[in-house]
């Protein structure tokens, strides 16, 4: 398969710069688009979503940095190369601070732009290798996450928990949702001791955020943590979530009207419908969730008996 050509947007009010850079980069296989000023440049940026933006800047023009900022805010993933005919080191640092991926000083040569593009591309590739997990290389995983009761950080915790889960489970969004409900219950009802009735009443009055904030700073509960042990093999995921609360009667909850508990019971029911099995300890402050890889040609059976 032929490698797709990289798209570059050139933004400059100098027609000679546009012509020189366009001709030089086209001969090297890039797809080039031009814009004669900031306004046209922003419109082209949003329409094209280019791989790179080459922006003419000048330390003598205060609008240069404003344009650079506007481009980076319009598309935070944009890789901008600022080019200038000047040799002002201080201005170069200002461009980097305002979001430029690189800065090239004049006199401008095409080989310098090509080297900059290659350098940025290599760096982005290395960052992707570091930040994006390669699940094909992982055969088994065992790890322990211990965290506090800040619900605002819950998405980051769940991302950590499902880092390699794609080996077993294709529906990662649903896995995140189901696991998140269990961890949320561990924090709210376990560590913070908020009863179903308290949550339902506070929610109906629009005061749940206030109740939650108060419990998070209550000395009786503030130091409590949740522990999540994660085991992943090629065939199954096993999550054991344990809080430091007194536990609860999970069987009685599932036998009651789930709508009467401010959604807490619904979250547990959702988890039970997704995972292959769920098992609580005797007091209810620890739960083990198992998800097994579905067998080809068969519907995945769910044995949800606690």
Blockwise average pLDDT, block size 10, the chain, 306 residues: 74 89 91 91 89 90 86 87 81 90 87 92 75 71 95 93 91 92 92 88 86 92 96 95 86 53 63 91 92 70 43
Contact at 8 Å (CB) between 9 and 48?
yes
Q: Where in the chain is the domain with CATH 3.40.50.2300?
A: 7-131
pLDDT at 135: 63
pLDDT at 131: 58
pLDDT at 11: 94
The rounded distance, in Å, linking the Cα atoms of 78 and 76 is 5
Tally of residues, the chain = 306
Q: Where in the chain is the domain with CATH 3.30.565.10?
A: 135-292
Angle between helical axes of 15-26 and 110-131 (0-180°, round to 10):
70
pLDDT at 266: 67
pLDDT at 259: 46
Contact at 8 Å (CB) between 31 and 7?
yes
| Third-level CATH fold of 135-292 | Heat Shock Protein 90 (3.30.565)
The number of C-alpha atoms within 13 Å of 30 and in the hemisphere containing its C-beta is: 25
pLDDT at 261: 45
Contact at 8 Å (CB) between 180 and 219?
no
Query: Class of 7-131 per CATH?
Result: alpha beta
pTM, full prediction = 0.56
| Maximum C-alpha span of the chain | 78
The dihedral formed by the CA atoms of 84, 49, 66 and 55, expressed in degrees to the nearest 10: 10
């Amino acid at each position: 398969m032929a490698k797709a050509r990289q798209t570059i947007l050139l933004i400059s009010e100098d027609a000679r710069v546009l012509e020189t850079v366009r001709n030089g980069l086209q001969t090297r296989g890039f797809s080039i688009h031009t814009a004669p000023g900031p306004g046209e440049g922003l419109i082209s940026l949003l329409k094209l979503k280019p791989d790179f933006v080459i922006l003419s800047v000048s330390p003598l023009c205060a609008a240069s940095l404003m344009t650079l900022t506007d481009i980076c805010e319009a598309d935070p993933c944009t890789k901008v190369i600022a080019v200038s005919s000047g040799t002002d080191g201080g201005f170069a640092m200002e461009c980097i601070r305002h979001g430029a991926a690189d800065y090239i000083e004049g006199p401008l040569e095409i080989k310098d732009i090509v080297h900059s593009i290659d350098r940025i591309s290599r760096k982005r590739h290395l960052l992707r290798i570091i930040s994006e997990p390669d699940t094909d290389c992982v055969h088994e995983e065992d790890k322990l996450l211990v965290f506090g009761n800040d619900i605002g950080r819950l998405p980051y915790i769940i991302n950590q928990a499902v880092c390699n889960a794609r080996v077993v489970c294709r529906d990662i969004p649903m896995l995140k949702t189901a696991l998140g409900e269990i961890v949320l219950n561990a924090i709210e009802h376990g560590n913070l001791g908020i009863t179903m009735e308290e949550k339902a009443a506070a929610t109906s009055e629009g005061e749940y955020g206030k109740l939650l904030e108060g419990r998070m700073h209550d000395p009786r509960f503030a130091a409590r943590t949740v522990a999540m042990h994660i085991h992943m093999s090629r065939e199954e995921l096993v999550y054991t979530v344990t809080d430091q609360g007194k536990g609860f009667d999970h069987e009685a909850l599932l036998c009651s009207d789930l709508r009467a508990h401010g959604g807490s019971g619904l979250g547990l029911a959702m988890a039970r419908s997704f995972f292959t099995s769920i098992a609580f300890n005797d007091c209810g402050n620890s739960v083990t969730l198992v998800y097994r890889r579905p067998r080809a040609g068969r519907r995945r059976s769910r044995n949800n008996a606690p």
